């Protein structure tokens, strides 16, 4: 059973309740395929054995934010998108979290879905929902509400079971540090001046074309934010790349750019694109990370060596490799960045001494004769 909350009084009562508990479970339902900013449709919260479904569009973001004015531990599964959506739609998110998917990675799981984790740990099969459900439609059916409620009903139990296993393995601190790291990750929207760097194939452009790409992508991002529509609806990547390569000076040249159709080649939109092209035409630029890229190129042999050892340690410890270290983490470490994740916290505890030995040359890697790798120490 669940309680539907669609009034300010209901939200404030629940917010007061959350100030008095140690933990609560939470999930969200949202849409973002037709808008630039996510549309928060529903919030599911479980407190002890009670489940509440909050009609987020009706009560509004200002009231939703009051639900997180507490120090309780919020239990979520695959929390990153939920945290981003809450931060962007109501300006606030839980202060402390426990991500059951993230924590499961420290006891041998590889990014499990909620249903598979509940099945494995609790022996319960969650109901299957329609992944194309329109969560913004009202009223929601009883089946939709029951499905939404099922996303939080087992999270308390999962958290307790995972913490027991983590404590037994001596990894509770690792998992909690990883959850804190996720909770504190930035959830800001894309800065328009940096939008061009997210485009596929942008690195194939020549320096002069990059200036146009940056300017047009900047215009596209601002227009998408202003109209609250996906950037692809303003201008597809293919058209943006075509415009960057051609750098058109007239509407006729604009229409000849690959990917450009009638929506982009007439009226105010066409004029705005041409103005952006003009702003970027003489701006021959390198990528902001050009110096780092050159440095990374020199470090590729070292990065390859360390990647091999990270994979070996991940296998031994039954941790997912990407959880232990990404290629970006390895590059940050080799660059000597003081805030590199491999130099801090639980990652340093697992890998720090090994990586220092490899980087200094006092250790190397060889086969162990049993299908794995080992460190071999010698004089640097």
Question: What is the arithmetic mean of pLDDT over 339-363?
Answer: 93
Return d(Cα 175, Cα 106) in angstroms, integer. Answer: 7
* Interstrand relation of 73-76 and 23-31 (parallel, antiparallel or unpaired): parallel
pLDDT-based confidence at residue 282 (cuts at 50, 70, 90): confident
The Cα–Cα gap between 76 and 159 comes to 9
Determine if residue 201 is left, alpha or beta; phi over 0 gives left, psi from -120 to 50 gives alpha, anything else beta: left
Q: How confident is the model at residue 378 (pLDDT cuts 50, 70, 90)?
A: confident
Residues 218, 221, 224, 225, CA torsion sign: negative
294 has pLDDT over 70: no
Q: CA torsion angle for 107, 111, 116, 117 (degrees, to 10)?
A: 40
**Tens-place pLDDT, residues 236-254:** 999 999 999 999 999 999 9
- What does the pLDDT average to over 15-25? 98
170 — alpha (psi -120 to 50), left (phi > 0) or beta? left
The whole-number average pLDDT for the span 272-282 is: 93
Q: pTM of the prediction?
A: 0.88
Helix axes 290-317, 327-335, angle to 10 degrees: 120
Higher pLDDT among residues 303 and 44, named by residue: 44
Contacts of 78 by beta carbon, 8 Å cutoff, 6+ apart = 99, 101, 114
> What confidence score (pLDDT) does residue 291 get?
43
**pLDDT confidence of residue 186:** 86
pLDDT of 290: 43
Cα atoms found within 13 Å of the Cα of residue 380, Cβ hemisphere only: 7
Higher pLDDT, 43 or 127: 43
What does the pLDDT average to over 351-380? 89
Structural domains of the chain ordered from first start = 3-183 (3.30.420.10), 192-281 (1.10.150.80), 290-377 (1.10.150.80)
Query: CA angle, corner 289, sides to 226 and 335, nearest 5?
Result: 130
Residue 267 has pLDDT above 60, yes or no: yes
Confidence at 288, pLDDT banded by 50, 70, 90:
low
Q: What is the percentage of the chain residues whose pLDDT exceeds 70?
A: 96
Measured between alpha carbons, how far is 316 from 352 in angstroms, rounded to an integer?
A: 16
Q: pLDDT tens-digit profile of 160-213? A: 999 999 999 999 999 999 999 999 998 888 899 999 988 888 888 888 899 999
**Rounded to the nearest 10 degrees, what angle do helices 172-183 and 155-169 cross at?**
130
Q: Which residues pair with 99 in a beta bridge?
A: 76
- Does 287 score more than 70 pLDDT? no
Instruction: State mean pLDDT over 86-106.
Output: 96
pLDDT at res. 175: 97
Computed over every residue of the chain, the mean pLDDT equals: 92
DSSP state letter for 134: -
pLDDT classification of 298: cutoffs 50, 70, 90: confident
Per-residue model confidence as pLDDT tens digits over 118-168: 999 999 999 887 777 999 999 999 999 999 999 999 999 999 999 999 999
Strands (E), 48-177: 50-54, 73-76, 96-99
pLDDT at 379: 61
> Cα separation of 19 and 32, whole Å?
31
In this predicted structure, which of 76-80, 111-115, 204-208, 367-371 has the lowest mean pLDDT? 204-208
């Amino acid at each position: 059973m669940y309680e539907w909350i669609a009034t300010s009084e209901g939200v404030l009562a629940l917010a007061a309740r959350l100030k008095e508990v140690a933990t609560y479970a939470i999930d969200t339902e949202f849409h973002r395929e037709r808008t630039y900013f996510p549309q928060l449709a529903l919030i599911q919260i479980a407190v002890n054995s009670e489940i509440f479904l909050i009609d987020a569009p009706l009560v509004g973001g200002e009231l939703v934010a009051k639900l997180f004015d507490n120090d309780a531990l919020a239990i979520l599964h695959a929390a990153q998108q939920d945290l981003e959506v809450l931060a962007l739609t109501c300006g606030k998110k839980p202060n402390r979290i426990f991500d059951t998917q993230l924590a499961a990675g420290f006891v041998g799981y590889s990014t499990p879905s909620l249903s598979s984790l509940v099945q494995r740990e609790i022996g319960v099969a969650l109901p299957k929902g329609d992944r194309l459900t329109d969560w913004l439609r009202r009223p929601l059916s009883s089946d939709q509400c029951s499905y939404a409620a099922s996303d939080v009903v087992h999270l308390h139990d999962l958290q307790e079971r995972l913490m027991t296993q983590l404590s037994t393995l001596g990894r509770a601190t690792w998992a909690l540090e990883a959850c804190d790291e996720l909770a504190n990750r930035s959830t800001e929207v894309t800065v328009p001046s940096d939008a061009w760097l997210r485009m596929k194939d942008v690195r194939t452009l020549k320096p002069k074309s990059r200036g146009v790409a940056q300017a047009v992508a900047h215009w596209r991002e601002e227009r998408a934010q202003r109209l609250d529509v996906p950037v692809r609806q303003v201008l597809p990547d293919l058209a943006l790349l075509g415009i960057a390569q051609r750098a058109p000076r007239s509407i006729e040249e604009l229409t000849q750019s690959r990917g450009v159709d009638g929506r982009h080649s007439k009226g105010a939109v066409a004029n705005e694109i041409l103005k952006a092209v003009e702003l970027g035409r003489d701006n021959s630029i390198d990528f902001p990370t050009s110096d780092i890229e050159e440095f990374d190129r020199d470090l590729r042999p070292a990065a390859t060596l360390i990647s091999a050892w990270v994979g070996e340690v991940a296998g031994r410890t039954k941790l997912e490799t990407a959880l232990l270290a990404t290629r970006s983490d390895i590059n940050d470490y080799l660059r000597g960045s003081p805030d590199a994740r491999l130099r801090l916290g639980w990652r340093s505890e697992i890998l720090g001494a090994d990586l220092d030995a490899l980087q200094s040359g006092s250790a190397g890697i060889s086969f162990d004769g049993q299908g794995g790798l080992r460190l071999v120490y010698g004089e640097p």
